[in-house]
Amino acid sequence: MSSSIVSLKSVEQQQELIITPPSSGLSLKGKITVPGDKSISHRALMLGALAAGETVIKGLLLGEDPRSTASCFRALGAEISELNTEKIVVSGIGLGNLTEPADVLDAGNSGTTLRLMLGLLASHPGRFFTVTGDSSLRSRPMSRVVKPLQEMGAQIWGRKNNSLAPLAVSGQQLKPIHYHSPIASAQVKSCILLAGLSIDGKTTVTEPALSRDHSERMLKAFGADLEIDPQTHSVSVIGPTRLSGQTVIVPGDISSAAFWLVAGSIVPGSELIIENVGINPTRTGILDVLEMMGADLTLLNQREVTGEPVADIQVQYSQLQACTISGDLIPRLIDEIPILAVAAVFAQGTTVIRDAQELRVKESDRLAVMASELNRMGAKITELPDGLEITGGGSLVGAQVDSYTDHRIAMSLAIAALNASYSTTIHRAQAASISYPEFFSTLQQVCQ
């Protein structure tokens, strides 16, 4: 990387991202795209593998996480062409036909891969599977899906009372349940719905608030029999069902666009257009909160692409104001809280984030890590058991910070560094490639 503002250095197999804003300040300009939506990419690969016939996927995210899904489902018998963003063909093997691999299925860093796949493996009678992931994933709670699957008759074993990967799964004929999930989690909801696809009868999940609904939208498009009650946040799948291959065009990921929406809002003089971003209402909490904070956002060219709403989003700098983020908003922006913490540092007043204890069991403890790393740069953040209290309006000074190998932390800290004085070094910055391999090059592009 040649720019003097952004440079990337390899140190002992890790990458350090060094950001040195010019003392005269910088502004971000340009028209950019973001890579494909991670949640939709996982689901397109999985449903494609389970469907009868061919599924064509355009715009797939080529990050590490969907690569983990593709390699697991290849090992389970699906034919998936070489991954690229242009066109991928998945030759599905039909529901109930996953084959037993001779080796461990490795979900890497991806909670979505592991949790959704568990529902499918548990409902394949007569087959035995073992699943694992990297050190972060092996410490994340799987009991949230193991428990309901056990209620359905699943047999799953693992450490800490069957709650930690590696897990062993003996596939069974499961029975339908109505599961009242204590948390609003699309991974839990999707795991149970995927298990329900091959069960005779009605499998229902009710969640306390609505989580992202990409599974519901895509399952319907593939021909599954679903009933949705928006009043009670309940979804049922009536099985056994048949899925048929479809064409899926994956929109840009709003969780990746979020970095530019905040960067454009906090760096004076900035103006960015982010093209082709998914604006599914279960994901647009970031837009609602930024607007509440006084951001200057405009949705352009709104349209629908294979069942998902899409728009181009224009952002211009404006002075942000503090706000409170809590309650039912949380599941609609669960992955954007690290970058919203950065927005809050530059907002006037004290921002309070509550009801976000889920962040403690993501790829890292995102509440603890964002508080510690931004405080190293001079922020005033107090950790709460379920959130953060951020006193904004100050300024940041460059420092040595760490991603804790969490992709969203690496990218959030990079955006904070753009608005700091002096140089910031982000250690283990390569984590960004989990969901956004092009992040560094786009950063360099907009900083010019």
Which chain residues interact with ligand S3P by CB under 6 A?
39, 42, 112, 185-187, 190, 211-212, 334-335, 358
According to the annotation, is 242 in a ligand binding site?
no
Which residues lie across from 167 on neighbouring strands? Answer: 131, 158
Beta carbon of residue 302, minimum distance to ligand S3P (angstroms, whole number) = 23
Is residue 405 helix, strand or coil?
Answer: coil
Angle at the Cα of 111 from the Cα atoms of 256 and 310, rounded to 5 degrees: 35
Tokens 């209620």 found at: 151
Beta carbon of residue 61, minimum distance to ligand S3P (angstroms, whole number) = 11
Please give the Cα distance from 146 to 160 (Å, whole number).
12
Beta carbon of residue 282, minimum distance to ligand S3P (angstroms, whole number) = 10
According to the annotation, is 187 in a ligand binding site?
yes
According to the annotation, is 103 in a ligand binding site?
no
According to the annotation, is 65 in a ligand binding site?
no
Beta carbon of residue 377, minimum distance to ligand S3P (angstroms, whole number) = 25
Token pair of 40 as six digits: 């939709």
- DSSP E strands in 51-200: the ranges are 54-58, 79-80, 88-91, 105-106, 128-132, 155-158, 164-170, 178-180
The residue among 141 and 269 lying less far from ligand S3P, judged by its C-beta, is 141
Cis bond before residue 240 (omega within 30° of 0):
yes
- Closest CB to ligand S3P: residue number: 39
Which of 213, 335, 402, 406 is the catalytic position?
A: 335
The residue among 43 and 124 lying less far from ligand S3P, judged by its C-beta, is 43
Nearest to 158 by CA among 150, 148, 169: 169
The residue among 215 and 314 lying less far from ligand S3P, judged by its C-beta, is 215
Crossing angle of the two packed helices 285-292 and 254-266, in degrees rounded to 10? 10
Please give the Cα distance from 408 to 390 (Å, whole number).
18
According to the annotation, is 25 in a ligand binding site?
no
The residue among 18 and 370 lying less far from ligand S3P, judged by its C-beta, is 370
Please give the Cα distance from 157 to 145 (Å, whole number).
12
Beta carbon of residue 208, minimum distance to ligand S3P (angstroms, whole number) = 12
According to the annotation, is 10 in a ligand binding site?
no
Concatenating the DSSP letter of every residue in 246-269 gives: -EEEPPBPHHHHHHHHHHHHHSTT
The residue among 125 and 281 lying less far from ligand S3P, judged by its C-beta, is 281
Asked about 335 being catalytic, the answer comes back as: yes
Beta carbon of residue 426, minimum distance to ligand S3P (angstroms, whole number) = 21
Please give the Cα distance from 357 to 414 (Å, whole number).
24
Which residues lie across from 228 on neighbouring strands? Answer: 235
Count the Cβ atoms, other than its own, within 10 Å of residue 406: 25
According to the annotation, is 220 in a ligand binding site?
no
The residue among 191 and 267 lying less far from ligand S3P, judged by its C-beta, is 191
The DSSP secondary-structure symbol of 363 reads S
Largest CA distance in the chain: 66
According to the annotation, is 143 in a ligand binding site?
no
Q: Could you tell me which residues are annotated as the binding site for phosphoenolpyruvate?
A: 38, 111, 140, 187, 366, 408
Q: Could you tell me which residues are annotated as the binding site?
A: 38-39, 43, 111, 140, 185, 187, 335, 362, 366, 408
Catalytic residues: 335
Q: Could you tell me which residues are annotated as the binding site for 3-phosphoshikimate?
A: 38-39, 43, 185, 187, 335, 362
